[in-house]
Structure 1
């Protein structure tokens, strides 16, 4: 359903109309043109609940249906409304457009437990969510409902038609590296490498910033030793390809090689010593994992990539005061490889608050300037909507606004990026609240030593 700001204006009081008129006059012309363009082209969303119909998204069928990979972003990992809106998009892409994979910003080996659950029903979902590497992000009631929906969707489908779940993050590779070592042992292949030789003692726990700190205390000689050991591990997997295939299958051999590679990239990330260098390693690693999944795990199928805005974006961004220089998210590499078949959807919001009794603690999100993407979209005056930036007329005032570098909310900071170069579509939620951590997540977050 298309929005029209004029309809909303009709119900405003005289004072409100006068104020709206004053704001219109004071706005820069390009800002005014952009807000008016969004008001005329936005697709309104009536209901975000898990049981809500997806019919509101039908105007996006042509754009989304042409994608091989849809990158679903979010400005924060922990907002209820953004999770629900993304869940609505996931259901539409799966149920109406035939997408058959959900790729998460989560460790590849950890996400395999979710894949087994949605394809076979194996395991207790609440327990599985709490054992993810990013449990403090994923273990919420909103995400649990979405995973349950995927399981229900899969129940009557043949294995080749089911939706599968994968992870692409490289920040918790230890379980996968242990699987590689077990594969050698099962195949009767003796190697000199063991867990300490691969730094798995440093990678204890799931909170990667803690692992980063432990690596930071290592001397350069130890870092070089770890790097050489991971190179050796990958070569050993390749050299023993035939024995590993005889033991299992070609598919399981490919998984073993992927896990070894994931371990190497994770080690490179932790050993990098700088956020900018480490960030580049992580983004490249996640992009390569995504492309490998598309090519080897789900050839011919379309997939959804669920991650933060600053991972899925198709152009570089800056975060002055937090990070130096320009950073390239994995979306840049994915766009270069997939071209127009990679479509990105960025997330924005207006205002909101978090209570003090839930992590990360009390937060107040106030309205921001109309020069900021979030602030401009807030002026449309609708609670939930999406807008297709591909529809903007070239060289128009609205297009010029979108081609300028804009601030964009990102966790507890702001990023600077060019909207139309970064995202094909943008969604907006007027007011956000904290997503609901599961009882297990709340219990774990309050335990000593947990993050």
Structure 2
């Protein structure tokens, strides 16, 4: 068995990745089984550099707030702000505190220095302005969209003045109340004001598309694309808040589904720009239906990767990552009858595995599912191996 698996393992580099795929994908998704391990973030940085230099990739997108990510993109593309400011204001989920993310941003800015605009690297967050404890107010995205349209179209075409949006939005504290995550009655997502905002947001987005030829010519394609992002975010947040107010048993499934749908819409927009490396949790990028238990009950929804993969076909590729040990988190040597255990027996510290050849080699063995003692690490599902384009395996993650 070890000999058969050894034949599927190769060095982790851009050339090796491309050999696994029928063609260069527009979106190359690199998943991770846990967040915050520097060894995985460093590997991502190395792979992105190679994709830039050898394969013509120009964009990286990570699981961070899409609106905050504009701060990072402005810095790497044109030097707006300082590195310290960008790391503090351009990331959600505390991603700005990780040294590997700082190094990524620093390297991208240095790479872009002196290059023509068409050849510069770009950065994107593709998550919504969401946290596990709640969601942002739609104010920033909604007012930015309205402001863009106000600047470029006749006032008579707008569905309402800015003052109407401000009145309906009210205090942002109403939207961000953390109690609403566990108590639907505390959410404002189904108030008369929120329902009216959903209609107005829909009208603003429709106006943006209706006026596409004029807006692109009068402002820029870049400005129009950014307004589209604001529109997706505003409507997505209002939909998310609507389902936060839902008292039915399907509430969590709908919330998780809305989040990944927002991610998918952002990724499909990025795919229009050209080839991009996407980095997020395996669960958001996999082609299979996602599942987890919340409050003791099973919850299922379609991941962003499943949605995007359906749209793009072979132009979407997914590499799942797995780790042998995270000893500082209590994740020790994997059992030898699991997929991670079989890969852990190989001699190298990290390698890229041909997932389909691995699945064929394991067809008669039926590996056991690994169980992690730490909730923050999601082991590989043996039944999903064949649905990935490759597996990036790292033997040991060490505390930084």
Normalising by structure 2, we get a TM-score of: 0.81
Query: By how many angstroms is 1:291 displaced?
Result: 0.9
Give the 3 Å change call, closer, same or farther, for CA 381–328 of structure 1 in structure 2. farther
The partner residue of 1:348 within 312, 322, 328 is 322
Change (3 A) 1:199 1:240: farther
Contact 1:103 1:166 in 2 (8 A): yes
In structure 2, what is the Cα distance between the partners aligned to 1:434 and 1:224? 47
Deviations 1:267-290 (A, max 9, x none): 212321322111111112211221
| Residue 362 of structure 2: aligned partner | 398
CA drift of 1:421 comes to 4.0
Note the C-alpha offset of 1:79.
Answer: 0.5
Give the one of 244, 264, 284 matched to 1:311: 284
Compared CA separation, residues 135 and 281, structure 1 to 2 (3 A): closer
Distance in 2 of aligned mates of 1:238 and 1:232: 10
- Map Cα deviations across residues 228-283 of structure 1 (whole Å, 9 max, x no partner): 34324434545666775676235423432331222111221232132211111111
Q: d(CA) in 2 for partners of 1:335 and 1:406?
A: 25
Higher mean C-alpha deviation, range 282-291 or range 368-377? 368-377
Deviations 1:311-345 (A, max 9, x none): 11111233246652433211111111111221111
Where does 1:51-450 land on structure 2 (aligned, <5 Å)? 58-63=15-20, 66-172=24-130, 174-187=139-152, 189=155, 191-192=160-161, 193-195=164-166, 197-198=168-169, 201-202=172-173, 212=181, 217-218=186-187, 220-222=190-192, 223-238=194-209, 248-273=219-244, 274-295=251-272, 298=273, 301-320=274-293, 324-354=298-328, 363-392=329-358, 396-399=360-363, 406-407=369-370, 412=376, 414=378, 417=381, 418-434=383-399
Contact 1:75-1:411 within 8 A present in 2 as well: no
- The number of residue pairs the alignment matches comes to 375
TM-score normalised by length of structure 1: 0.72
Q: Classify the secondary structure of the residue corresponding to 1:324.
A: strand
- Inter-CA distance 379–323: structure 2 relative to 1 (3 Å threshold): farther
Q: CA deviation at 1:102?
A: 0.9
Please, which runs of 5 or more residues in structure 1 have no aligned partner?
A: 1-32, 46-55, 355-362, 436-451
| Alignment match, 1:446 | none
* Alignment root-mean-square deviation, CA: 3.3
Task: Give the superposition deviation at 1:144.
Answer: 0.7
Could you say what secondary structure the match of 1:307 adopts?
A: strand
- Greater Rg, structure 1 or structure 2? 1
Does the 8 Å CA contact 2:26/2:271 hold for their aligned counterparts?
no
